[in-house]
């Protein structure tokens, strides 16, 4: 016997009412679409561990950007797959203005000036060591790496980037990049810091996509310990004070609590990276028939938004935007 007249099910009795009282909603404006770039022409190479995700040459990349914009996706984060022959210890290809990455920024902004282009700032895609910083005697050098990250960031801003995305996790890099951009007249270029980037097992397919795995060791001396929450608050306070415009949590699904903590603590946008391993899990389970792929995808994205993410970097961006249009 129900002892009061409060019946929550009345607000669930129809699709119209459920939609009317929904506390969290998704739209294409919430998505940042990561895209992988390769050299050459007329290339579109599927990544085996990420079904439906491709490496694009510049011509096919522009087609993908156009199709995505038609779906309402307007922000794109670019990642380069660089031939091994162009990698070196100082990641010098990262500031080569004739290289494929900076060309891609220029070409997207030329063809789609209304698009927002976000970049990746880290040495690993360009480094012969596969680490995010300069390596000397097996140690990752923090302060020496900042100069390389600065060159990379400035070159990206000069190419037309709207948002710089330092993903390297070196101490002090947000302030160093902010000062360098401002000194060179790029005060309007934003920084989306990978603030709480954890040393996660969910990055494997991404490293396959870029062939950027470390040549030795791991990244635990600079990426965060998955056990820690307070450490994320320390990183966030530093990035906030150094001038970050957005703060990111990566990965997303296993760190929803970190998204919420940062959202409740800071009054700037909090973003989340729905990483390659999270994407691959859904795809693999759906392929086996163990999950309904579309429903699991949308539930995952909704959970990230509900946790407090203002924007989500996700490989599901295009698929989700298509569903949202229906």
Count the alpha carbons within 13 Å of 22 in the hemisphere toward its beta carbon: 13
> Is residue 4 situated within a structural domain?
no
pLDDT score, position 139: 86
CATH, residue 286: 3.20.20.70
pLDDT score, position 222: 86
Domain total of the chain: 1
Provide the β-strand partners of residue 47. 50
Q: What is the rounded CA–CA span in Å between residue 277 and residue 293?
A: 15
Query: What's the alpha-carbon Rg for the chain, to the nearest Å?
Result: 20
pLDDT score, position 5: 84
- 90 touches 45 (CB < 8 A): no
> Is residue 309 situated within a structural domain?
yes
Is 197 one of the annotated active-site residues of the chain? yes
Burial class (CB within 10 angstroms; exposed 0-12, middle 13-18, buried 19+) of 286: middle
Structure tokens at 170: 């070196």
pLDDT score, position 217: 66
**CB < 8 Å & 24+ apart, contacts of 231-240:** 232/195, 232/196, 232/258, 232/261, 232/262, 233/261, 233/262, 233/265, 235/195, 235/196, 236/195, 236/196, 236/262, 236/265, 236/266, 238/171, 238/172, 238/174, 239/174, 239/193, 239/195, 240/266, 240/268
**Of the listed 44, 111, 219, 250, which one is catalytic?**
250
> Is residue 19 situated within a structural domain?
no
- 320 touches 66 (CB < 8 A): no
> Is residue 15 situated within a structural domain?
no
Q: What is the rounded CA–CA span in Å between residue 80 and residue 101?
A: 6
> Is residue 142 situated within a structural domain?
yes
pLDDT score, position 239: 97
Helices (H), 71-212: 100-111, 142-159, 173-183, 204-210
- 321 touches 72 (CB < 8 A): yes
Is 283 one of the annotated active-site residues of the chain? no
pLDDT means per 10 residues, the chain with 326 residues, are 79 93 94 97 95 96 98 97 92 95 98 98 89 86 95 98 95 97 98 96 81 70 93 97 97 97 97 96 97 97 98 98 94
Q: What is the rounded CA–CA span in Å between residue 172 and residue 188?
A: 20
pLDDT score, position 158: 98
> Is residue 87 situated within a structural domain?
yes
Range of the domain at 267: 24-325
pLDDT score, position 322: 97
- Of 209, 220, 198, 210, which is closest to residue 280 (Cα–Cα)? 209
Cβ neighbours of 195 (radius 10 Å):
28
What global pTM score does this model have?
0.94
> Is residue 17 situated within a structural domain?
no
Cβ neighbours of 120 (radius 10 Å):
22
Provide the β-strand partners of residue 135. 140
pLDDT score, position 267: 95
**Of the listed 197, 263, 283, 318, which one is catalytic?**
197
pLDDT score, position 200: 94
> Is residue 11 situated within a structural domain?
no
């Amino acid at each position: 016997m129900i002892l009061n007249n409060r019946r929550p099910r009345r607000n669930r009795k129809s699709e119209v009412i459920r939609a009317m009282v929904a506390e969290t909603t998704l739209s294409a404006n919430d998505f940042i679409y990561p895209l992988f770039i390769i050299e050459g022409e007329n290339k579109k190479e599927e990544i085996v561990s990420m079904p439906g995700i491709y490496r694009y040459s510049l011509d096919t990349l522009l087609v993908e950007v156009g199709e995505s914009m038609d779906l309402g996706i307007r922000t794109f984060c670019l990642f380069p797959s660089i031939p091994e022959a162009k990698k070196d210890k100082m990641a010098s290809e990262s500031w080569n203005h004739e290289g494929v990455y900076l060309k891609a920024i220029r070409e997207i902004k030329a063809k789609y000036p209304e698009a927002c282009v976000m970049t990746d700032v880290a040495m690993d895609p360009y480094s012969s060591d596969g680490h995010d910083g300069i390596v000397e005697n097996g140690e990752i050098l923090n302060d020496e790496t900042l100069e390389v990250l600065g060159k990379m960031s400035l070159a990206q801003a000069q190419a037309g980037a709207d948002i710089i995305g330092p993903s390297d996790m070196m101490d002090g890099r947000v302030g160093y990049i902010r000062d360098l951009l401002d000194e060179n007249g790029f005060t309007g270029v934003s920084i989306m810091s990978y603030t709480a980037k954890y040393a996660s097992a969910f990055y494997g397919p991404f490293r396959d996509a870029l062939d950027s795995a470390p040549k030795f060791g791991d990244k635990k001396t600079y990426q965060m310990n998955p056990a820690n929450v307070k450490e994320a608050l320390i990183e966030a306070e530093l990035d906030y004070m150094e001038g970050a415009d957005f703060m990111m949590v990566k990965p997303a699904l296993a760190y929803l609590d970190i998204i919420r903590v940062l959202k409740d603590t800071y009054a700037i946008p909090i973003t989340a990276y729905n990483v390659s391993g999270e994407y691959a899990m859904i795809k693999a389970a759906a392929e086996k028939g163990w999950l309904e792929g579309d429903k699991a995808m949308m539930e995952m994205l909704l959970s990230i938004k509900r946790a407090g993410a203002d924007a989500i970097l996700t490989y599901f961006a295009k698929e989700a935007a298509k569903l949202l249009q229906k």
